[in-house]
Structure 1
Amino acid sequence: MSAIKEFGVVDKSTGKYTIAYGILFEKTANTLEALNGTLRAAKKQKKVAFEKELLMMPNDRDVQVVLLEA
């Protein structure tokens, strides 16, 4: 997901891009209507990681989404 690279930051301990779900949600609201479905599919393919099964705003705004594959 290019939006994670574009808007996220590199975690110095892992070297992977990471972004809070709330920021990703806000930055892609006008361009990516199915963010949650896209993230779930990417998680199944082991391209991203996050702690919960389903991310919902506003409760999960601080959950970190980690890009596993560049």
Structure 2
Amino acid sequence: MDLGKLEFKLLAEFVANADTVMTRAMLIERVWGYDFAPTTNIVDVYVRHLRVKLTAAGGEDPILTVRGVGYMLRG
């Protein structure tokens, strides 16, 4: 599986914080380096790309969506 630079950074952030809910603002700051939450769905788009790649072999989706809050990697 080939991951782009930002996909890898996003996955690394999830792994480093497994079983912890990461808000979109936290991910924007840590992965993209912004100190503000732009009005964009960039986090959602990259999470979707990452999910597709992680489940390509038929495995279970390891990323849990916490509605209204963010995302969490199941440990």
Pairwise TM-score range, normalised by the shorter structure? 0.3 to 0.5
Higher normalized helix content (fraction of residues) = 2
The structure having more radius of gyration, on CA atoms, is 2
TM-score (norm 1): 0.47
TM-score (norm 2): 0.45
